[in-house]
A and B are shown apart, each in its own frame.
Chain A
Amino acid sequence: MRLTAITMAASLVAGAALADAVAPGDVTYTEYGEIETSLSGAPGDAEAGAKVMTTRGLGNCVACHKVDALDAAFQGEVGPPLNGVGGYRSEAELRGIVANAKMTFEGTVMPAFYKTSGFIRPGDGYTGKGAAEEDLEPLLTAQQIEDVVAYLMTLKD
């Protein structure tokens, strides 16, 4: 009885979080590419965000960006280093850049991490096979975006 109650409560919480999450197609960007409010409806967890940034199958942000505070070998040089970025960019700017950097930097090579449509020949992950657009998941979930943003906000010189 007690167990059931806990399970019920847990799934209610999960359901509530899901209901609050903004779907990739419904995100509102300001004219400068910012996103004002949390995509998941919940605050981010900086530690989880650091993990997303260094994990190959997830954000793998360090493929292109150097972040001295992160413990990851072979940090890339395609994008600017992110040291101190939380000091000169707002949370809303960072959320917009991580979700879809093209709204802030026109034509940037940085991929959009919270977008599921408008691609040319989208694939089924890294298999090289095609995928139907309606089956695509964003590269990161709403909560993972919030986690990454929370981590970036800790990067202050």
Chain B
Amino acid sequence: IATAPALMAGGPDDDTMVINGEIEMTTKTEAPAHMEGTGIDTIISGWHFREDETQSQQLDDFENQGMIFVDNARDAWDTVEGEAGESCASCHGTPEDMAGVKPVYPKYVDSAGEVRTLQMQMNACRTERMQAEAWGYDAQPAIEMEALMSSVSRGMPVDVAIDGPAAEAWEMGKEIYYTRYGQLELACASCHEENYGNYIRADHLSQGQVNGFPTYRLKNAKLNGVHSRFRGCVRDTRAETFSTGSPEFVALELYVASRGNGLSVEGPSVRN
């Protein structure tokens, strides 16, 4: 009897993800049309490239250590801050009322005339509507609130717009994705498009999707933001990185998010 061919040491596994025994997640699906020509026809969550123990921690909110930070954010949601005497709850109701917001970010915000990440948009509420101080980019309170916004959208498909007024930023992000930075001359694509599934030393390369962000990483035992992850990857090419919150990383986030259009929102996910 023929057994299934041994997977390449690397390849993604075939496990399925159901969160808390009820939220069915799409972790592999057909690549969006704009990815034609990339050689990728199936987009795959980073979850598939992790070890079983790491994977299982994400399946149950009591085991997902990222959820502790989501609870902090629930408290912050109801807390009045700033001169205007408002909390997030005063205007937005419950966090669950925000379901569906995370999947479409980053997006072009008409009133601002620019593409914004969720963190930028939350900061606009803080500075303009609450008269509170802006959170630092990827700083603890910001990343916790982003994790809350993500958690209430888990299972919904990522669906960022890449056309219309978002097109310019998207093109910029795409150019960055394919630029070979640093003394090692490596692009995002060198590792996450040409080599996903392969091991690079002890690291199992994924497609570098952002649908799982913020990610709780066992390595540093905290929530990690998209831009902080980008910084780490660019730094590892022996390059000068861009800053968190910079226009370059906002554009790159939009582009990378669009490569995950169709995957479920997973944040806060668990990674190593």
| Bound form: Cα–Cα A62–B10 in Å | 16
**A-B interface contact total, Cβ < 8 Å:** 81
Chain B interface, >50% SS class: loop
Min Cβ gap B262→A in Å is 27
A111-133 contact mask (Cβ, 8 Å, vs B): 1 or 0: 11000000111111111111100
Query: Quick one: which of B190-228 are within 8 Å of A by CB?
Result: 190-191, 194-195, 198-202, 205
| Bound form: Cα–Cα A62–B82 in Å | 54
Min Cβ gap B72→A in Å is 28
The answer to whether the Cβ of A32 comes within 8 Å of any Cβ in the partner chain is no
| Bound form: Cα–Cα A63–B195 in Å | 13
The answer to whether the Cβ of A139 comes within 8 Å of any Cβ in the partner chain is yes
B222-242 contact mask (Cβ, 8 Å, vs A): 1 or 0: 000000000100111111110
The answer to whether the Cβ of B179 comes within 8 Å of any Cβ in the partner chain is yes
Q: Using Cβ atoms and an 8 Å threshold, which residues of chain A touch B190?
A: 109
**CB-contact partner of A130 in B180, B194, B198, B240, under 8 A:** B240
The answer to whether the Cβ of A76 comes within 8 Å of any Cβ in the partner chain is yes
| Bound form: Cα–Cα A73–B195 in Å | 20
| A112 nearest in chain B by CB position | B185
| Bound form: Cα–Cα A64–B195 in Å | 10
Instruction: Report whether B240 and A128 are in contact in the complex, using a CB–CB cutoff of 8 Å.
Output: yes
| Bound form: Cα–Cα A76–B238 in Å | 19
The answer to whether the Cβ of B91 comes within 8 Å of any Cβ in the partner chain is no
Instruction: Report whether A122 and B202 are in contact in the complex, using a CB–CB cutoff of 8 Å.
Output: no
| Given known A-B contacts A111-B184, A111-B186, A123 and B199 have beta carbons under 8 A apart | no
Instruction: Report whether B201 and A111 are in contact in the complex, using a CB–CB cutoff of 8 Å.
Output: no
Query: Quick one: which of B5-61 are within 8 Å of A by CB?
Result: 8-10
Listed in ascending order, the chain A residues whose CB lies under 8 Å from chain B are: 60, 62-64, 73-78, 109, 111-112, 119-131, 136, 139
Can you identify 7 A-B contacts, CB atoms within 8 angstroms?
A: A63-B200, A74-B199, A74-B201, A78-B195, A111-B183, A124-B240, A128-B235
